[in-house]
Amino acid sequence: MNPTRPPSAADPAYRDHATDRPLRSVTLILFAVFVAFFITGLAMPVLPLHVHTGLGMSTLIVGFVTGSQFAAALISRVWSGNYADSRGGKPALLAGLVAAIVSGLLYLASLPLAGAPVLSVTLLLLGRAVLGGAEGFIITGAFSWALMMLGPQSTGRILSWIGIAMYSAFAIAAPIGASLYSRYGFLAIGLGTVLLPLASLLLTYPMRFVAPRPARRPPLIQVIGAVWLPGIGLAFASVGFAAINAFVSLFFVERGWGPVWLVFTIYSGSFMLSRVLFGHLPDKLGATKVALLFVSMEATGQAVIWLAPQPEIAFLGVALTGFGYSLVHPAFGVEAVMQAPLQSRSLAMGAYTTFLDLALGTAAPVLGFVANRGGLRSVYLASTLVVACAIIVAIALLCRRKDPEPLSP
């Protein structure tokens, strides 16, 4: 096999993982991703209420509890990538589902201890951390398993499908979680966090799977060397998402524009539309070309919000931001995976995704500092400039080498 060219689905390393019904199998794999983010979304609107109001803990403790999941997800990326490369995508995904069930059991175990709030919060914090690790294993396992089924020529499509499962789960879960909490309390959230991963586990466990052949794996530093430049491009582009997520509602309220909820509906709708209509483009046209086009669209959207004289123009900027950012992750991701050694592509995806975690973890406080110094409008000037840096990264990738020829399915 030529090590300089991505293998085709006909190569033995991929053929052994084929299935007679790949799309049906991939659908079940994507359902596991949906479940992981659905149970995360269930708790997002209600966990702060439960910890602060129900248990009487401070907002600092609320921050620790809610943030522990994302810290654990970041830490688990490399671990889950190594695990998926050595054991295979199915064992990694199943391990993530089991961990998700354990997190739900920790939620439930915390409820009888409400009279001892410190102990109860400790179990909640541990449960969130376990769920963060579960998320890393489920995402990496799903990517690795689907890649083995469909072949590397479908890398962009797989990443797009995973993103659709993630964001649709978040969108659906938040109102359901709020409704369940108002009627049945945090018990319903705990039960959902146990039962939904259990259902997904029962569906995916019987699926056919062949373990990867033992192979010598390159050192981590070599994998990082393959993904660092696309990862930096993703990190720059993700600042636009952070600016929308953290500050756009305050920006609209400050100007008396509304309704604020429409901002998030437009952003989510344009994001999903882009993935559905154009998710195949990184595989067909070349990853860096698509990254350059869509990150330019995202930067334009941020500039439109910054300069918007009226809400209709700002809504257009939000739509452009969502539509553009939607394909940045899979486009840079295809570049990262294709440059990584064949034996370490799951590890490469885990390492690549850490750039997203780091960007989202640092962008909000930095942009908050910008807002304190220059006002909310300055947030979108700053985000425009940072997202534009991703354009430079895409150009650098194009100059470094040409994209590999698009592979036919």
360-370 pLDDT tens trace: 778 878 888 89
320 and 383 co-located in one domain: yes
pLDDT tens-digit map of 78-130: 788 778 877 888 999 999 999 999 999 999 999 999 889 899 989 998 998 89
Least confident range from 123-132, 133-142, 229-238, 344-353: namely 344-353
Q: How far apart are CA 279 and CA 273, in angstroms?
A: 9
Q: Write down the pLDDT at residue 409.
A: 39
The listed range with the strongest mean pLDDT (51-65, 151-165, 219-233, 387-401) is 387-401
Query: Looking at the domain assignment, is residue 6 inside a domain?
Result: no
Least confident range from 2-11, 82-91, 190-199: namely 2-11
Task: State both tokens at 185.
Answer: 């309390």
Q: What is the mean pLDDT of the chain?
A: 83
Query: Looking at the domain assignment, is residue 369 inside a domain?
Result: yes
Q: Write down the pLDDT at residue 305.
A: 97
The DSSP call for residue 153 is: G
Token pair 């659908």 in the structure block, residue: 27
107 and 30 co-located in one domain: yes
pLDDT tens-digit map of 280-332: 888 788 889 999 999 999 999 999 999 999 999 999 999 999 999 999 988 99
Nearest to 155 by CA among 171, 144, 141, 170: 144
What is the average per-residue pLDDT within 383-396? 96
387 and 243 co-located in one domain: yes
Contacts of 3 (CB under 8 A, 6+ apart): 341, 342
pLDDT band at 15 (very low <50, low <70, confident <90, very high): very low
Nearest to 75 by CA among 33, 134, 162, 34: 134
144 and 236 co-located in one domain: no
Q: What's the full length of the chain, in residues?
A: 409
142 and 245 co-located in one domain: no
Q: Is the pLDDT of residue 17 over 60?
A: no
Where is pLDDT greater, at 349 or 402?
Answer: 349
Q: Write down the pLDDT at residue 107.
A: 94
Query: Looking at the domain assignment, is residue 3 inside a domain?
Result: no
144 and 183 co-located in one domain: yes
Q: Are the beta carbons of 65 and 165 closer than 8 angstroms?
A: no
297 and 391 co-located in one domain: yes
pLDDT tens-digit map of 201-230: 999 999 877 666 655 666 667 777 778 899
Domain boundary at 171, 204, 237, which?
204
CATH of the domain at 87: 1.20.1250.20
Q: Are the beta carbons of 211 and 148 closer than 8 angstroms?
A: no
Nearest to 403 by CA among 160, 153, 140, 85: 153
Q: How far apart are CA 254 and CA 258, in angstroms?
A: 10
Domain boundary at 156, 176, 204, which?
204
200 and 316 co-located in one domain: no
User: What is the end-to-end Cα distance of the chain in Å, rounded?
Assistant: 18
Query: Looking at the domain assignment, is residue 276 inside a domain?
Result: yes
Q: Are the beta carbons of 357 and 77 closer than 8 angstroms?
A: yes
Least confident range from 141-145, 164-168, 171-175, 226-230: namely 171-175
Query: Looking at the domain assignment, is residue 171 inside a domain?
Result: yes
Q: How far apart are CA 196 and CA 236, in angstroms?
A: 34
Phi-psi domain of 200 (left: phi exceeds 0; alpha: psi -120 through 50; beta: other) = alpha
Query: Looking at the domain assignment, is residue 4 inside a domain?
Result: no
DSSP string, 231-245: HHHHHHHHHHHHHHH
Q: Write down the pLDDT at residue 142.
A: 92
Q: In the chain, how many domains are there?
A: 2
Query: Looking at the domain assignment, is residue 213 inside a domain?
Result: no
Q: Write down the pLDDT at residue 155.
A: 79
Q: Are the beta carbons of 281 and 223 closer than 8 angstroms?
A: no
Q: Write down the pLDDT at residue 401.
A: 60
pLDDT band at 404 (very low <50, low <70, confident <90, very high): very low
265 and 171 co-located in one domain: no
Q: Is the pLDDT of residue 5 over 50?
A: no
DSSP string, 168-234: HHHHHHHHHHHHHHHHHTHHHHHHHHHHHHHHHHHHHTTS---PPPP-----HHHHHHHHHHHHHHH
31 and 69 co-located in one domain: yes
Quote the domain boundaries for residue 196. 12-204
227 and 189 co-located in one domain: no
Q: Write down the pLDDT at residue 10.
A: 41
Task: State both tokens at 82.
Answer: 């190594």
Query: Looking at the domain assignment, is residue 405 inside a domain?
Result: no
